[in-house]
Structure 1
Amino acid sequence: MTKTDAILLVEDDSEIGDLISRYLQTHQIDVALVADGAAMDAALARREFDLVILDLNLPGENGLSICRRLRADRNLPIVIVTAQGEDVDRILGLEMGADDYLVKPFNPRELLARIRSVLRRARAAFAGRDETSSRYYLFEGWRVDIMAHQVTTPAGTKVALTSAEFDLLYALCERPNRVLTRDQLIDLTHGPTAGPFQRSIDVLISRLRQKMESDPKNPRYIQTIRSEGYLFTPQVVRA
């Protein structure tokens, strides 16, 4: 991590917010702490951040609504931190566009590891991939721009993807017409810090289908192979 890493922490509990801020700052991370969605919007208007840490239980607009709104407006990575530990809350957070999820109470070292993992995944779209000989993946009118981290439909409309969704699509484009297990997809997208949330691959697949398939319940591009994994069916061309 470098001092250029800037994180916006949205946490209404000032004690917890101060503890997280101090810990991350000792690891050369610039942290701005705000207590609600309105203060978050003001902070985002003033400066750019590399990642948002977002509590779900906030005064006024709740974290899930904020997460959905952030994801619709920008590709800023989001890590949800909350005391709500039920699977339904985790899945809802991921479906709203969060890149990772951590339940309170937690070890600050784990939060730091999750932040680093999410930032690595987000930056991989810009650093490293632009060194490849190909900039685009093309299939059936779709265009995946590796350097710009953009996906364009056959009609020319840009599709907003989270960094995790883009990483998953990138992995599928790299390996078309090949069955990939969940474990393989976790290794290709999350790496060794994936944690206990392996079913998040299913959530990401569902989100990609919602954004790319004309009929997500009967997918054409990303097919489920029962008891094996997923198959990306298009003929992919590198350009």
Structure 2
Amino acid sequence: MKPLIYVLEDDADIALVISRTLKNEGFTIEAFSRRGSFLNRLKRQTPDLCLVDLSLPDGDGLSVVTEYLRVSNIPSIVVTGRSSLTDKIIGLEVGADDYVVKPFEPRELLARVRAVLRRSRQFEPDGGAKAQKTARFAGWEANFQSCTLRDRAGMESDLSASETRLLEIFVKSTGRVLSRSQLMDHIRTSDEDPLDRSVDARISRLRKKLGDDSKSPTLIRTVYGAGYIFSSKVEWV
């Protein structure tokens, strides 16, 4: 089945370029110029990926990513004219899987679309423990479908899309050392990003949410010169 991609872009010329580029490569495309019509369609059918402009005539595209796509675990790429590093980091931290700045080369956009789809499918259910979307470990319960984390007392907190992917990689690889490059393969946005230490920052935030002492962590341990290792027994439910 052809991957279904929604394009939320109010500039008709750019929407046409995106649609033609992806249709020529075998993707099914539905384009929207308004936030409202996009959200109405999203309620009826879930796409494989969404491309979202930040500046829209009837609302902010960033809220689409944070309030709808992230909570539904739908992969997304922000496509925008906002090129500052601050905007880019904000876009990624709120849950977008990649960030493309206008003007862009159609071939680059195509490569990023394929990379995000490839990453999102790498950890799809395929039977056994991987078919489960909730993991229990060390008194915690992580729901990778709803991007939430629950402690022993039943208190629930939200995980960002990148934190969800990172934690899921760890619990599915418990007891195995994962290098920074292996982790970056699943959370980075592109080879050109100057955010080499972003994996360390995200692990630091994840440790904080897990109550894992950064000076002497017991769940996500640092293996100096090699990477990180998740040290807890995991039960899938």
Q: Normalising by the residue count of structure 1, what TM-score does the alignment of the two structures yield?
A: 0.76
Measured after TM superposition, the shift of residue 144 of structure 1 is: 4.7
Identity in percent: 34
Alpha carbons of structure 1 residues 65 and 105: separation in structure 2 relative to 1, 3 Å: same
**Quick check: 41-50 or 224-233, which moved more?**
224-233
Measured after TM superposition, the shift of residue 231 of structure 1 is: 4.0
Q: Which residue of 1 aligns with 2:168?
A: 170
**Quick check: 157-166 or 15-24, which moved more?**
157-166
Does structure 2 retain, via aligned residues, the 8 Å contact 1:8–1:34?
yes
- Aligned amino acid, residue 191 of structure 2: G
Alpha carbons of structure 1 residues 89 and 133: separation in structure 2 relative to 1, 3 Å: closer
Q: Which residue of 1 aligns with 2:210?
A: 213
Alpha carbons of structure 1 residues 175 and 131: separation in structure 2 relative to 1, 3 Å: closer
Matching residue within 171, 177, 192 for 1:196: 192
Q: Which residue of 1 aligns with 2:137?
A: 139
Q: Which runs of 5+ in 1 are unaligned?
A: none
Q: Distance in 1 between matches of 2:56 and 2:173?
A: 41
Matching residue within 30, 35, 40 for 1:32: 30
Q: Which residue of 1 aligns with 2:82?
A: 84
Q: Normalising by the residue count of structure 2, what TM-score does the alignment of the two structures yield?
A: 0.76
RMSD after superposition: 3.7
SS in 2 for 1:101: strand
Deviation per CA, 1:215-235, whole angstroms, max 9, x where unpaired? 898895666859858645642
**Quick check: 74-83 or 109-118, which moved more?**
109-118
- Where does 1:10-159 land on structure 2 (aligned, <5 Å)? 10-71=8-69, 73-128=71-126, 130=127, 135=132, 137-144=135-142, 152-154=149-151, 155=153
Q: Distance in 1 between matches of 2:65 and 2:181?
A: 27
Alpha carbons of structure 1 residues 218 and 53: separation in structure 2 relative to 1, 3 Å: farther
Q: Which runs of 5+ in 2 are unaligned?
A: none
